Chains A and B, each alone.
Chain A
Amino acid sequence: MNSARWRLVSPHLDQVLELSGEERQRYLHDLAKADFTLAADLMVLLGEEQALHDEKYLEHDAQDLFVESRLVGQTFGAYELVEPLGAGGMGSVWLARRSDGHFEGMAAVKLLSAALLGAEGASRFRREGTILARLKHPHIAQLIDAGVSEVGQPYLVLEYVEGEPIDRWCDNRSLDVEARLRLFLDVLAAVAHAHSNLVVHRDLKPSNVMVSKEGRVKLLDFGIAKLLDTESGAATLLTRDAGHAFTPAFAAPEQILGESVSTATDVYALGALLYLLLSGRHPAGGPGTKPAEMLRAILETDPVRPSDGMTDPRVATQRGTTPERLRRELRGDLDTIVAKALKKRPEERYASVAALGEDLRRYLAEEPILARPDSLAYRTAKFARRNARSLVAAAGTVLALIATVAFYGTRLAHERDRVRIEAQKSAQVSEFLTGLLIRADPYQDDQQEPTVRSLLDAGAARVRKDLAKQPEVQREMLTLLGRIYDRRGAYDQALPLLEEAVNLGRRTLGPSRELAQSLNDLGVAQRRKAQVDAARATLEEALAMRRQVLGDKHPEVAVTESELGRVLSDQGHLAQAESHFRTALAIRTQVLGPADHETATSMSDLGILLRTKGDLAASEALLRQTLVVTRNTRGPMHPDVGTAISNLALTLNERGNPVAAEAMLREALAIGRASLGKNHPDIAQRLINLAGALRLQGKLAEAAATAEEGLAISRPALGLDHPAVARQETGLARIYLDQGRPAAAKALLEHALEIQRRRYLAEDWRLGTTHSLLGAAYLGLKRLPDAEPHLLRAFEILKPTPGAEGQATREGRENLARLVALYEAWGRPEMAARYRSEE
């Protein structure tokens, strides 16, 4: 949105802010009818309004930011605050001076922020004091005093460490590996002392390991430390929310997963710290790594060995050596030691900080270390773990299943007398899903890791076998699995499951919301498989049933309206398709609002149809709106965003802007490849579209290569008999014709024509286009008598409807030009003149 748009939206915003929820919806609805883009902008801003209430945005005064500075000079115990050292959500830390004149010296005073003065904040603060009071060690910053001030402010007085974080300290002094290790042994001593007092630090990272000016290591900040249970040695959870306050980069897998924390958690963080000190890198990625990627790396990826990535000469210089020598120094024992400390599973790490220290001492003394490099046995065990990890990936899919089940559960729960049965049912379904995960045996086929696909296949088999006695659950699971296959593009697998679901539903339910759902899903899969007539019949049945059961204005009715519209559009019944799309859009705009994802889908359907009809301005507006809403509702990298971009690009291409179209299609491809995989049929279609945009710019060689790449994906994915393949072949043939390769074009067009003749009505404009192009190919081959019947057939099909300005009309004009060219080449000027007068 830019300032100009703000000016346009501003008066509407004034009005809408005055309205209540329902009135707002009506206002937006009306505005959307008049000006879609404006309504969308308004929606975005109303989204901001919601957010600012949720966040209490700007509701603190700016001057609160200065409140702390008024603390300067206040005294806490024997200390007077001098200046703030740092602040965070939990409170602030101040440099303080001894004020009673007894001793010289500075201290750090930690204050709990006023906002956290609730019971929990205070108890957490007290806990830090208690923990620190237990610890007396030369390498741990000492607790000097703790108390509550006259005005009720709790405080801790701590030893003040003026120095640098350990990594910076080492780098700034170019310490070599040995010196780093010796310093690190002091860190280990401090942590070991804490552990022997049953304290786990849980937040070990460079900024909490300071080195003073004198070169002495000091461990700081036990703010989220934990007391271990004396009996079991496991950590007890003292407060709940403190568990999340760690620093992700140095957190152990079990911390991220919220599992139980032990001394091994600190061993892991020490391993990460050692890795950093030795290699200058972090085991889970550099500073630019996104938090999510880093978490993933910590959970799933074994870090590269410190010696392996060692190429940076700056890192080597900071260690007083060259990359080559540093690599040699790290390779072997140090790699092994770091790897053992960084094991994903706590029980595989060093059993204690002391054991880690012992190995480092052995290394420094040039004795054999106790840790062993990964053995064959280890690698075998690891194989099983890798399988377990891909099960985690599969779990993503299954989670989607479970979410759907939960959705079904709540939805069905509305029907009051069925609540109990349905709850039972969805419990059975989730149980089944869990069983699916657990029972999928990773050793089933020896070398193969279980894939999502093999899980689905196993699931389908089990649904048929195990659930035969519970037809209701079975039907629901068949529908779910069918949908998932459908979404993954495995239409052959989807169809039989959905057919079974429908048959079961007919036997056990009769006309009902559930059966209509199964019918709808079956119709969708049939359409994808290009069984257009069957799809139409199924969807018409689904639509009638949904109307009967749910009424005319229900979102589920809109779903089937859309799907039916798409089938009709495939069949070439554009007017009927448009009417279904408009009905769906009307229902969704009214029931779900203009900024809803499903409403956007309807705008997209209509936008694509209007492009075919030639109403390009309206098409562009709808498709832009679709893109805005899709980005907002789905996030920037969702596959639907790729589709929305691709659709808009096609309209821009038609509007004579192939350069913009090319850029957008490349973006759509990138999103699609990232989210759908390289070989999804949608990727093929985007490649063909990209080829079209390249062709319009005259980049013919690139266009041909791109379209060929697309067909190489879609032919195996969809089968040679699929109309989408035929349409894509027509697109490639057009490029070949431009390149002056009529023979290559002819082969493609003959194949496409054969498919389209079987699939489409005889008058379908797409058939006309293929005829016309085939005529052009014969024309290029100088086979004039063969060209004539195709061009004349195209002429009949593409006869312009008065006033129409669509793709068909344009193709018709091109066909006339071809006819003129044909008769001129043939030496029949009177025929040429006749068709010229038609132009």
Chain B
Amino acid sequence: MALPLSTLIHSADCGEPQASEALFAALYRELRGLARRELARSGPGSSLGVTSLLHEAYLDISKREGVAFPDRARFFTYAARVMRGLIIDGLRSRQARKRGGAFEMTSLDGKDVGDGGPPGDAEEIERLGHALDELATMEPEIAHVVDLKFFCGFTFLEIAELRGVSERTVQRHWDKARIYLRHALREGFLD
């Protein structure tokens, strides 16, 4: 019988590595299940975003686990990281399903014509994930902004409220984290 999430979160807070892994796995199952249920309920073309999914998850779990469940800020700290894993896995499996290049659309430099939007393929997102883990070992609070903003679609205001800081601070953390990530993906922070 799996431990309640509140217990796992508490142990992970105390820095127990096994608890962190168990928490990650449990949240992963929880969020994936929720995403599937939502998709089934509202049908294709549903516009349920990652952000609302996380809010829904929080409501669900905190109702289930009662008063012992930590506050939203604590929950989102872990859930956003888990969400990132879920998204990367999703992209990876979608990439695997893709057929060969029958409909390539290429530009002069041989890359897909893009507008500076999200890094396209699963590998790149995975590399981003690794760089983000590196950053989190040094400056967890700024790495976390990327999980919330880029992976989970939170706005600066939401993140600021969640963490009790000013929007300006969140914006600065976001810029700093992106500086790190862009450099890490292009040049690498070699040790």
Q: Is A220 on the interface with B (CB-CB < 8 A)? A: yes
Chain A residues whose CB sits within 8 angstroms of the CB of B114 once the complex forms: 89
Considering the complex, give the chain A residue whose CB is closest to the CB of B107.
A245
Chain B residues whose CB sits within 8 angstroms of the CB of A758 once the complex forms: none
Considering the complex, give the chain B residue whose CB is closest to the CB of A110.
B103
Chain B residues whose CB sits within 8 angstroms of the CB of A56 once the complex forms: 116-117
B182 lies within 8 A of A90 (CB)? no
Chain A residues whose CB sits within 8 angstroms of the CB of B153 once the complex forms: 61-63
B44 lies within 8 A of A86 (CB)? no
Interface flags for A46-60 (1: CB within 8 Å of B; 0: not) read: 001101101111111
Chain B residues whose CB sits within 8 angstroms of the CB of A259 once the complex forms: none
Chain A residues whose CB sits within 8 angstroms of the CB of B108 once the complex forms: 244-246, 248, 291
Q: Is B138 on the interface with A (CB-CB < 8 A)? A: yes
B103 lies within 8 A of A88 (CB)? yes
Chain B residues whose CB sits within 8 angstroms of the CB of A44 once the complex forms: 183
Chain A residues whose CB sits within 8 angstroms of the CB of B102 once the complex forms: 85-86, 93, 161, 165, 207, 210, 220
B149 to chain A, nearest CB (A): 8
Q: Is A438 on the interface with B (CB-CB < 8 A)? A: no
> Do A221 and B103 form a contact, CB below 8 Å, given A52-B182, A70-B45, A86-B98?
yes
Interface residues of A in 45-98 (CB under 8 A from B): 45, 48-49, 51-52, 54-66, 69-74, 83-91, 93
B109 lies within 8 A of A291 (CB)? yes
Chain B residues whose CB sits within 8 angstroms of the CB of A71 once the complex forms: 44-45
Question: Bound state CA distance, A58 and B116, in angstroms?
Answer: 8
Q: Is A381 on the interface with B (CB-CB < 8 A)? A: no
Chain B residues whose CB sits within 8 angstroms of the CB of A34 once the complex forms: none
Chain B residues whose CB sits within 8 angstroms of the CB of A52 once the complex forms: 175, 178-179, 182
B35 to chain A, nearest CB (A): 10
Q: Is B130 on the interface with A (CB-CB < 8 A)? A: no
Chain B residues whose CB sits within 8 angstroms of the CB of A247 once the complex forms: 104, 106, 110
A89 lies within 8 A of B46 (CB)? no
A252 to chain B, nearest CB (A): 14
Chain B residues whose CB sits within 8 angstroms of the CB of A72 once the complex forms: 44
Q: Is B12 on the interface with A (CB-CB < 8 A)? A: no
Interface residues of B in 49-73 (CB under 8 A from A): 49-50
Q: Is A223 on the interface with B (CB-CB < 8 A)? A: yes
Interface flags for B125-158 (1: CB within 8 Å of A; 0: not) read: 1000000001000110000001001111100000
- Of A3-11, A480-488, A823-831, the segment with at least 4 beta carbons within 8 Å of chain B is A3-11
Q: Is B97 on the interface with A (CB-CB < 8 A)? A: yes
Question: Bound state CA distance, A208 and B101, in angstroms?
Answer: 9
CB within 8 A of B172: which of A5, A17, A210?
A17
Q: Is B181 on the interface with A (CB-CB < 8 A)? A: yes
Q: Is B36 on the interface with A (CB-CB < 8 A)? A: no
CB within 8 A of B90: which of A5, A66, A210?
A66
Q: Is B190 on the interface with A (CB-CB < 8 A)? A: yes
B176 lies within 8 A of A57 (CB)? no
B179 lies within 8 A of A48 (CB)? yes
B117 lies within 8 A of A90 (CB)? no
Most buried by A among B113, B119, B152: B113
B97 to chain A, nearest CB (A): 7
Chain A residues whose CB sits within 8 angstroms of the CB of B146 once the complex forms: 58
Question: Bound state CA distance, A69 and B97, in angstroms?
Answer: 12
Chain B residues whose CB sits within 8 angstroms of the CB of A91 once the complex forms: 105
Question: Bound state CA distance, A115 and B139, in angstroms?
Answer: 35
CB within 8 A of A13: which of B105, B117, B150, B176?
B176
Considering the complex, give the chain B residue whose CB is closest to the CB of A46.
B179
> Do A2 and B45 form a contact, CB below 8 Å, given A57-B178, A244-B107, A245-B113?
no
Q: Is B160 on the interface with A (CB-CB < 8 A)? A: no
CB within 8 A of A49: which of B103, B116, B175?
B175
Question: Bound state CA distance, A88 and B102, in angstroms?
Answer: 12
A223 lies within 8 A of B105 (CB)? yes
Q: Is A257 on the interface with B (CB-CB < 8 A)? A: no
A55 lies within 8 A of B118 (CB)? no
Chain A residues whose CB sits within 8 angstroms of the CB of B98 once the complex forms: 84-86
Question: Bound state CA distance, A161 and B102, in angstroms?
Answer: 9
Considering the complex, give the chain A residue whose CB is closest to the CB of B91.
A65
Chain A residues whose CB sits within 8 angstroms of the CB of B152 once the complex forms: 63
B113 lies within 8 A of A63 (CB)? no
Question: Bound state CA distance, A247 and B108, in angstroms?
Answer: 6
B186 to chain A, nearest CB (A): 8
Question: Bound state CA distance, A66 and B114, in angstroms?
Answer: 16
A89 lies within 8 A of B178 (CB)? no
Chain A residues whose CB sits within 8 angstroms of the CB of B50 once the complex forms: 61-63
B151 lies within 8 A of A62 (CB)? yes
B117 lies within 8 A of A83 (CB)? no
Chain B residues whose CB sits within 8 angstroms of the CB of A245 once the complex forms: 105-108, 113
CB within 8 A of B49: which of A58, A63, A164, A246?
A63
A58 lies within 8 A of B178 (CB)? yes
Question: Bound state CA distance, A385 and B189, in angstroms?
Answer: 49
B118 lies within 8 A of A60 (CB)? yes
Interface flags for A755-782 (1: CB within 8 Å of B; 0: not) read: 0000000000000000000000000000
Question: Bound state CA distance, A223 and B47, in angstroms?
Answer: 30
Q: Is A104 on the interface with B (CB-CB < 8 A)? A: no
Q: Is B112 on the interface with A (CB-CB < 8 A)? A: yes
Question: Bound state CA distance, A57 and B119, in angstroms?
Answer: 9
A3 lies within 8 A of B175 (CB)? no
Q: Is B180 on the interface with A (CB-CB < 8 A)? A: yes
A84 to chain B, nearest CB (A): 7
B188 to chain A, nearest CB (A): 9
A132 to chain B, nearest CB (A): 14
Question: Bound state CA distance, A372 and B159, in angstroms?
Answer: 73
A89 lies within 8 A of B105 (CB)? yes
Question: Bound state CA distance, A64 and B117, in angstroms?
Answer: 9
Chain A residues whose CB sits within 8 angstroms of the CB of B110 once the complex forms: 247-248, 291
B176 lies within 8 A of A62 (CB)? no
B46 lies within 8 A of A70 (CB)? yes
B44 lies within 8 A of A58 (CB)? no
> Do A6 and B189 form a contact, CB below 8 Å, given A58-B146, A61-B118?
yes
CB within 8 A of A93: which of B94, B103, B139?
B103
Q: Is B99 on the interface with A (CB-CB < 8 A)? A: yes
Question: Bound state CA distance, A651 and B56, in angstroms?
Answer: 63
Chain B residues whose CB sits within 8 angstroms of the CB of A87 once the complex forms: 112
A48 to chain B, nearest CB (A): 5
Question: Bound state CA distance, A658 and B26, in angstroms?
Answer: 57
Question: Bound state CA distance, A421 and B49, in angstroms?
Answer: 63
Interface residues of A in 1-38 (CB under 8 A from B): 1-7, 10, 13-14, 17-18
B180 lies within 8 A of A6 (CB)? yes
CB within 8 A of A1: which of B46, B175, B183?
B183
Contacts from B to A (Cβ < 8 Å): 43-47, 49-50, 84, 87, 90-91, 94, 97-110, 112-120, 125, 134, 138-139, 146, 149-153, 172, 175-176, 178-183, 187, 189-191
Q: Could you list 7 further interchain pairs (A-B, Cβ under 8 angstroms) beyond the known A70-B47, A87-B112, A88-B104?
A: A3-B134, A14-B172, A44-B183, A74-B44, A83-B97, A89-B115, A207-B104
The 3 closest A-B pairs by CB, nearest first: A89-B113, A88-B105, A73-B44
12 contacts between A and B (CB under 8 A): A1-B183, A5-B189, A52-B182, A58-B146, A62-B84, A63-B153, A71-B44, A85-B103, A86-B99, A88-B113, A207-B104, A208-B104
Contacts from A to B (Cβ < 8 Å): 1-7, 10, 13-14, 17-18, 44-45, 48-49, 51-52, 54-66, 69-74, 83-91, 93, 108, 110, 115, 161, 164-165, 207-208, 210, 220-221, 223, 244-248, 291
